[in-house]
């Protein structure tokens, strides 16, 4: 079995608390499923900036680049210096934001199981903004290559998930004829090569409405950077909020997994941070590794971890989900569930 090298970036605020929880779970998974995990700590973020003068030092980049994957906690004020730089450096062009309704979460909507595949490198987020006398202008970059690879990725995900096998391309091509027009055209081209997957298009305003009105119609949504950013927060809220929202930044050879939430400075150090978003990142990471290396143990570990999170949600919750348990109690509950049945 190949060794799986994980760069662990703990981050700021509640980052160290939820990262400790993730390490405890990774150790349990490694024992239960005989996984060979090599966890390497890397420093980045606000505390690193204070200590070393740089939010993302070269030594950390070196460790990340020589690992198979990065598991990242939330970073505070320096978030953009860390995550935006890593996305560009490692060409992590697909941002995956799943939203799955767990019946155990109180404000859930039943049956939602969707994935937003957001283009991660272009659009207004390139930061080409200019001021002129009396106004400002932002340039939006959309290229054929980026549209093509994100659309291909979305179709692959729809096939791998094996659920509704449906991709919906979300854009506003009726108004933004050149930029979103290109995105729409390329998605259609890619759809014509993936005829086993059902394909439709939806304007972004309609998609925002339909996520509330009838979220169960969605399987995989593919969209550009800004729309994806907004729609994925909306979708996360539909299924229980930030405490249970994981995400992945994926390239062709590398992936970085991070909870959607920030460093939550208001609750840092209190021992009540919800570790489940980061634990669901561990689940996504195991799924990714299973696919990349055809490692059946990693796939079973991912499945068991999701089951353990579900069992835990039914009985033990942190205050953000209406409970009164601590980070440690939730973590211990997940560990107990994982150890319940001997696995090989
Ligand atoms: P940042 O500046 O790092 O983005 P923030 O507080 O502005 O921090 P978030 O960290 O996303 O933004 O937090 C928004 C709210 O959600 C806060 O009240 C925070 O306590 C809560 N929150 C976020 N993540 C968690 C978590 N894992 N467990 C419990 N509460 C959380």
Task: Show which residues are catalytic.
Answer: 125, 172, 205, 229, 233
Q: Is the pLDDT of residue 105 over 80?
A: no
Q: Are 64 and 80 in contact (CB under 8 A)?
A: no
Q: How many C-beta neighbours within 10 Å does residue 270 have? A: 13
Q: Is there a single domain that holds both residue 127 and residue 10? A: no
Where does ligand 1 bind, in terms of residues with CB under 6 Å? 13-14, 74, 76, 242-243, 261-267, 273-274, 277, 318, 320
User: What residue owns the CA closest to ligand 1's atom 21?
Assistant: 264
Does 155 lie in the same domain as 123?
A: yes
Tell me the C-alpha distance between 341 and 229, whole Å: 39
Does position 224 have pLDDT exceeding 50, yes or no?
yes
Identify the CATH number of the domain in which residue 75 sits: 3.40.718.10
Mean pLDDT, residues 107-123:
88
Q: 136 and 34: one domain?
A: no
CA-CA-CA-CA torsion sign (157, 159, 68, 30): positive
Burial track 81-104 (b if 16+ CB lie within 10 A, e otherwise) = bbbeebbeebebbbbbbbbbbbeb
Claim to verify: residue 205 and residue 257 sit in the same structural domain: no
Among 161, 168, 155, which residue's Cα sits nearest to residue 196?
Answer: 155
What Rg do the C-alpha atoms of the chain give, in angstroms? 20
Q: Is 341 exposed, middle or buried (0-12, 13-18, 19+ CB in 10 A)?
A: exposed
Total count of domains within the chain: 2
pLDDT reported for residue 1: 62
Q: What is the pLDDT of the chain when averaged over all its residues?
A: 94
Residue 103 covered by a domain: no
The predicted structure's pLDDT at residue 158: 97
Same domain, 117 and 210: yes
Interval 149-153 mean pLDDT = 97
CA of 139 to the centre of ligand 1 (A): 30
In angstroms, how far is the first alpha carbon of the chain from the final one?
Answer: 14
- Residues facing 255 on adjacent strands: 69, 250
Three-class secondary structure of residue 131 per DSSP = strand
Q: Each residue of 257-308: pLDDT tens digit?
A: 999 999 999 999 999 999 999 999 999 999 999 988 888 999 999 999 999 9
Q: What is the pLDDT of residue 127?
A: 80
* pLDDT, tens only, 17-74: 999 999 999 999 999 999 999 999 999 999 999 999 999 999 999 999 999 999 999 9
Question: Phi then psi for 86, rounded to 5 degrees?
Answer: -65, -40
């Amino acid at each position: 079995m190949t060794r799986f090298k994980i760069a662990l970036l703990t981050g700021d605020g509640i980052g160290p608390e939820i990262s400790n929880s993730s390490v405890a779970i990774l150790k349990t998974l490694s024992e239960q499923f005989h996984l060979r995990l090599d966890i390497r700590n890397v420093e980045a973020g606000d505390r690193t900036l204070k200590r070393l003068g740089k939010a993302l030092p070269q030594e950390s980049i070196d460790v990340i680049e020589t690992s198979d994957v990065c598991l990242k906690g939330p970073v505070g004020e320096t978030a953009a210096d860390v995550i935006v730089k890593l996305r560009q450096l490692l060409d992590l062009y697909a941002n995956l934001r799943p939203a799955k309704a767990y019946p155990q979460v109180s404000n859930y909507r039943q049956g939602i199981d969707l994935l937003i595949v957001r283009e991660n490198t272009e659009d207004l987020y390139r930061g080409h903004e200019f001021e002129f006398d009396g106004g400002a202008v932002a340039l939006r970059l959309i290229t054929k290559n980026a549209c093509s690879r994100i659309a291909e990725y979305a179709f692959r995900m729809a096939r791998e998930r094996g659920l509704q096998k449906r991709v919906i391309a979300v854009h506003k091509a009726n108004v933004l004829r050149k930029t979103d027009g290109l995105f729409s055209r390329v998605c259609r081209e890619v759809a014509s090569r993936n005829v086993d997957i059902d394909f439709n298009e939806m304007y972004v305003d309609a998609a925002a409405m339909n996520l509330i009105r009838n979220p169960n119609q969605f399987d995989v949504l593919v969209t550009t950077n800004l729309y994806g950013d907004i729609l994925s927060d909306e979708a996360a809220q539909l299924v229980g909020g930030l405490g249970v929202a994981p995400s992945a930044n994926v390239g062709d050879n590398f992936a970085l997994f991070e909870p959607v939430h920030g460093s939550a400075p208001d609750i840092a150090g209190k021992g009540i941070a919800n570790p489940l978003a980061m634990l669901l990142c561990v689940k996504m990471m195991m799924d990714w590794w299973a696919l990349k290396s055809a490692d059946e143990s990693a796939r079973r570990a991912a499945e068991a971890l999701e089951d353990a999170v579900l069992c835990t949600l039914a009985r033990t919750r942190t205050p953000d989900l209406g409970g009164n348990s601590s980070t440690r109690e939730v973590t211990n509950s997940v560990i107990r569930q994982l150890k319940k049945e001997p696995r090989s």
